[in-house]
């Protein structure tokens, strides 16, 4: 039985590890400035925890095999685990893990701080992300750089676009606001997203950008990321928001600066 346990535990351990190493299923190719460092931190953590995983599992298997009851007269050896040397081993193991914790806290914390402790750069492209059951609308402030007022009373989901987010056309700042069903942003320029939810909590997730942030009713959450590749990237809702949660997805289209300006100008022209 000890040997079977050892073999089964080893099979489970090395199969699990294999698929991590082979990257059979892995993060989508990064498309934002933060992706590389984040992936790197994932791999570093993976190495540390992978070693702990293999050592503990294989150690367990080996102990089970070696110290199985063989029916001979020899008994187990009495260890209380409370002699000085035994406690020292425990303390050393604890110190080892504390050191690992501190390493992880510092490195991982640094990444978090870099992403979330500072506001967006001054020249960032501003996009207000509006989430509602079960659609995304993206608003651009237009040439005046200001978002116009919105009110819940004016919301009309069936009219889509400006109506869906309740844009108040009486507000002068609203005159040049652009509302789009897909999110278009320029490449290599920071995007400041302002996340708003109109009904329940949603979450704006773009796996390729390694970006995810809840949109919470009552809050306007400011975040930023910098796309580094042009193309269409899938955006999905990752916070349970109701029966249509599974189909609340969209596109983040990253284009060149020129294409972005052209697109924005065309939308402005349409609006006038």
Partner 1 sequence: MATHEFAAEASHAHAAPQGFIRKWIFSLDHKVIGLQYFFLALASVCVGMFLSLLMRIHLIWPTAVLPFLGEIKPETYLSLVTMHGTIMVFFVLTTAPQAGFGNYFLPIQIGAPDMAFPVLNMLSFWTTFLAFVAAVTTFFVIGGAPLHGWTGYPPLSALQAAGPGEGLGADLWAISIALFCVASLMGALNFITTTLDMRAKGMSLMRMPLTCWAWFLTAVLGLLAFGVLLSACILLLMDRNIGTSFFVPLGTINGQVTAHKGGSPLLWQHLFWFFGHPEVYIAILPAMGICSQVLSVASRKPAFSYKAILLSMLSIVTLSFTVWGHHMFISGMSPYSAYGFSITTMAITVPSAILTFCWLATLWRGKIQFTAPALFGIGFVSLFVSGGVTGPFLAQPALDIPLHDTYFVTGHFHLIMGVASIFGIFAATYYWLPKMFGRMFNEKLARLHFWVSFAGTYAIFMPMHYLGLAGHPRRYSQLTEVGFLHDLIPLQKFITFAAFITIAGQLIFLVNLFWSLKFGAKASDNPWEATTLEWTTATPPPHDNFGGHTPVVYNGPYEYSVPGAPRDYVMQTDPEIEPAH
Minimum distance, C-beta of residue 124 to partner 1, in the bound complex (Å): 17
Pair of tokens at residue 172 = 């002068």
Question: With contact defined as beta carbons under 8 Å apart, do 139 and 147 qualify?
Answer: yes
Other beta carbons within 10 angstroms of residue 186's beta carbon come to 20
Nearest-approach distance from CB 56 to partner 1, in angstroms: 4
- Which residues lie closer than 8 Å to 25 by C-beta, 6 or more apart? 19
Report the alpha-carbon distance of residue 168 to residue 27 in Å, rounded.
Answer: 41
Whole-number minimum distance, CB 258 to partner 1, in Å? 27
- Measured from the CB atom, the residue of 113 and 265 that comes closer to partner 1 is 113
- Least Cα distance to 194 among 208, 204, 184 occurs for 204
Closest CB 221 distance from partner 1, rounded Å? 5
User: Which of residues 51 and 266 has its CB atom nearest to partner 1 in the complex?
Assistant: 51
CB closer to partner 1 out of 199 and 268: 199
Q: Report, in angstroms and rounded to the nearest whole number, the Rg of the chain calculated over CA atoms.
A: 27
* Residue 91 to residues 25, 83, 180, Cα–Cα distance (Å): 38, 12, 59
CB of 265 to partner 1, least distance (A): 30
Cβ proximity to partner 1: between 90 and 266 the closer is: 90
Q: Which is nearer to partner 1, 55 or 266 (CB)?
A: 55
Which residue from 267, 249, 177, 191 is spatially nearest to 225, judged by alpha carbons?
A: 191
């Amino acid at each position: 039985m000890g040997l079977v346990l050892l073999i089964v535990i080893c099979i489970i351990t090395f199969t699990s590890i294999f698929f991590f190493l082979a990257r059979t299923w892995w993060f989508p190719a990064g498309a934002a400035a933060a992706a590389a460092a984040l992936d790197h931190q994932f791999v570093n953590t993976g190495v540390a925890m992978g070693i702990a995983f293999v050592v503990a599992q294989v150690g367990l298997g080996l102990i089970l095999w070696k110290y199985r009851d063989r029916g001979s007269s020899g008994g187990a050896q009495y260890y209380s685990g409370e002699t000085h040397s035994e406690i020292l081993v425990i303390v050393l193991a604890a110190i080892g893990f504390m050191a690992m914790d501190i390493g992880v806290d510092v490195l991982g914390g640094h990444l978090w701080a870099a992403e979330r402790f500072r506001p967006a750069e001054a020249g960032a492209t501003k996009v207000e992300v509006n989430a509602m059951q079960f659609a995304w609308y993206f608003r651009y402030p237009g040439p005046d750089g200001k978002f116009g007022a919105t009110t819940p009373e004016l919301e009309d989901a069936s009219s889509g676009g400006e109506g869906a987010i309740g844009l108040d056309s009486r507000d002068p700042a609203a005159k040049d606001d652009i509302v789009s069903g897909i999110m278009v942003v320029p490449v290599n320029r920071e995007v400041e997203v302002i996340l708003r939810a109109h009904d329940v909590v949603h979450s704006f997730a773009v796996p390729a950008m390694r970006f995810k942030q809840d949109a919470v009713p009552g809050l306007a959450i400011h975040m930023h990321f910098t796309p580094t590749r042009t193309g269409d990237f899938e955006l999905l809702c990752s916070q349970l928001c109701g029966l249509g949660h599974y189909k609340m997805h969209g596109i983040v289209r990253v284009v060149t600066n020129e294409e972005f300006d052209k697109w924005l100008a065309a939308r402005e022209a349409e609006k006038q």
